[in-house]
Structure 1
Amino acid sequence: MFHTFTFLRRDAGHGGSDPGGIGNGLQEKNLTLKIATNIKSLVEDYKDVTVKMSRAGDMTTESLQTLKWW
């Protein structure tokens, strides 16, 4: 019998002083974080699924940190 598991990494990108794209009163950093957090909430309840986020709030993630994170 095989035991399988899924490891999912979500990189919300941008954050902190880097808002990403801005338009219509929206900032990309807020949208990407919300989408990544919603995906995490949807899939982490499945058996044997682990979800890791590059950021969980409005913080700047340096490029090198993101590369190490992966």
Structure 2
Amino acid sequence: MELKLGDRLADERTEWQVIGRPYTTAGGKTAHVRVESVNNPGVTEIRSWGSHERVGVKREERKG
């Protein structure tokens, strides 16, 4: 899994920012990550995907 802190994900409700390190369960078959709503700070969720699923991510390039 290549999600990193600060990555942004979008779904039908809002845009989310990764605020916790990703982790897997079920022998690496399910991936989880803690996210926070960009539009409503303080609203958090734990999102889960099958480890084989692709997740669209927007990542800002860091300079320096």
Q: Structure 2 length as normaliser, TM-score?
A: 0.24
User: Which of structures 1 and 2 has the bigger CA Rg?
Assistant: 1
Point out which structure has higher relative CO (alpha carbons under 8 A, 6+ apart): 1
Q: Structure 1 length as normaliser, TM-score?
A: 0.23
Comparing both structures, which one devotes a greater share of its residues to helix? 1
